[in-house]
Amino acid sequence: MDTPASFERDRAELAEEIRQLRAASGMSGVVVAERLGWSQSKVSKLETGRATPSLEDVRKLVALYGVGQEKRDALETSTSELNDRYRSLRMLRKRGLEQEQQGIKRVESSTTLLRVFEPSTVPGLLQTAEYARAVFSRPLTGAGVDVPGAVAARIDRQSVLFRPERRFHFVITEAALRWRMGGSSTMTAQMDRLANLSTLSNVRLGLLPWRVEVSEFPNNGFDIRDDREVAVENFTTHRVLTDPRDVDFHLRMFQLFADAAIYDDEARTFLADLVREHA
């Protein structure tokens, strides 16, 4: 596992590479800041390792410096890996999920069409407060979390569902609906919540029963934001994929699962059957 020391060392090495590229270009930090519309302090922080550059930051810098493709690819890979580790370290340092939920809300609020595939849990946008409380109270992944703050922030995110200009398409596996988060009353309320939200005109809710044969196996959940990026998360890291090839792959994977799912009255009947089982 990464340590803060190893992370800081690798960030410093990336910062030095960025500084050397600027020096080789003959530009000053002030000129770089002016051309990119940044503050001069941002350029300085990226070059001294006091801030972690985003993938977009690095892409702008290498384009400005005229860096060759091979070096460009290597820097982008290093930056992506560093950001993955940074998100992991944020969790290890227990900086709190309330801020994370607020960040997700900002992204979701600027997304016209959000497609979500979930094989193991109910998506956050659809969770009841008690279900969310159970999610954030898990002993390992929830260790050190401010549970009330995280729950409140997650519920606050859900207001975007009631904005008719935003569209949502969820596909949830039967396994996610059967995996108990909380007691019977929590699961019953969660099934009712899903049934109610499925009646919104801008929300399409698909359920993927075990009985349906699907040609692909779901390794993990993912969110597709419009057609521009894909968010993929595991226990310790969160990645945002922007390569058009990755986005296209996940779009095709989502469509495969969506085509196999059940919707509308058939889905609500399925949820009602689960309620009777949980009762």
Q: What is the pLDDT of residues 229-266, one digit of tens each?
A: 888 877 666 677 878 888 999 999 999 999 999 999 99
Do 88 and 150 lie in one domain? The reply is no
Number of domains in the chain: 2
| pTM, entire model | 0.69
pLDDT band at 139 (very low <50, low <70, confident <90, very high): confident
Residue that is last in its domain, among 70, 92, 114 = 92
Are the C-beta atoms of 125 and 158 separated by less than 8 Å?
A: yes
Are the C-beta atoms of 172 and 138 separated by less than 8 Å?
A: no
Q: What is the pLDDT of residue 17?
A: 95
Do 50 and 114 lie in one domain? The reply is no
Residue that is last in its domain, among 44, 61, 92 = 92
Is pLDDT at 228 greater than 60 in this prediction? yes
Do 86 and 103 lie in one domain? The reply is no
Q: Please report, rounded to a whole number, the percentage of residues in the chain having pLDDT higher than 70.
A: 87
Do 168 and 247 lie in one domain? The reply is yes
Residue 259, classed as helix, strand or coil, is helix
Are the C-beta atoms of 188 and 279 separated by less than 8 Å?
A: yes
Give the CA radius of gyration of the chain. 22
Q: 65 is in which domain, residue-wise?
A: 4-92
Do 48 and 103 lie in one domain? The reply is no
Which H or E run contains 98? helix 97-109
- Average of per-residue pLDDT across 205-223: 92
Q: What is the pLDDT of residue 2?
A: 45
Q: What is the pLDDT of residues 174-195, one digit of tens each?
A: 999 999 898 899 999 999 999 9
Token pair in block for residue 166 = 């935003």
Q: For residue 8, what is the domain's CATH number? A: 1.10.260.40
Are the C-beta atoms of 221 and 120 separated by less than 8 Å?
A: yes
Instruction: Give CA angle at 142 (139, 145), nearest 5°.
Output: 125
Is pLDDT at 130 greater than 70 in this prediction? yes
Residue 73, classed as helix, strand or coil, is helix
Give, rounded to a whole angstrom, the gap between the first and last alpha carbons of the chain: 42
What is the Cα–Cα distance from 108 to 170, expressed in whole angstroms? 14
Do 11 and 32 lie in one domain? The reply is yes
* CA 166 to centroid of chain Cα atoms: 18
Do 111 and 205 lie in one domain? The reply is yes
Do 74 and 141 lie in one domain? The reply is no
Are the C-beta atoms of 162 and 259 separated by less than 8 Å?
A: no
Q: Give the full edge-to-edge strand order of the sheet including 238-241.
A: 203-208, 167-173, 113-118, 222-225, 229-233, 238-241
Residue that is last in its domain, among 59, 74, 92 = 92
* CA 268 to centroid of chain Cα atoms: 27
Token pair in block for residue 28 = 């000053």
Do 66 and 31 lie in one domain? The reply is yes
Token pair in block for residue 62 = 């290498």
Torsion over CA: 29, 31, 36, 40 (sign):
positive
Q: What is the pLDDT of residue 107?
A: 73
Do 108 and 231 lie in one domain? The reply is yes
Which amino acid does the sequence have at 162?
A: F
pLDDT band at 92 (very low <50, low <70, confident <90, very high): very low
Tell me which DSSP letter residue 54 carries: P
Q: For residue 211, what is the domain's CATH number? A: 3.30.870
Do 64 and 104 lie in one domain? The reply is no
Are the C-beta atoms of 115 and 254 separated by less than 8 Å?
A: yes
Instruction: Tell me how far apart the 2 most distant CA atoms of the chain are, in Å.
Output: 71
Torsion over CA: 140, 238, 72, 14 (sign):
negative
Residue 35, burial from CB neighbour count under 10 angstroms (0-12, 13-18, 19+): exposed
Do 73 and 159 lie in one domain? The reply is no
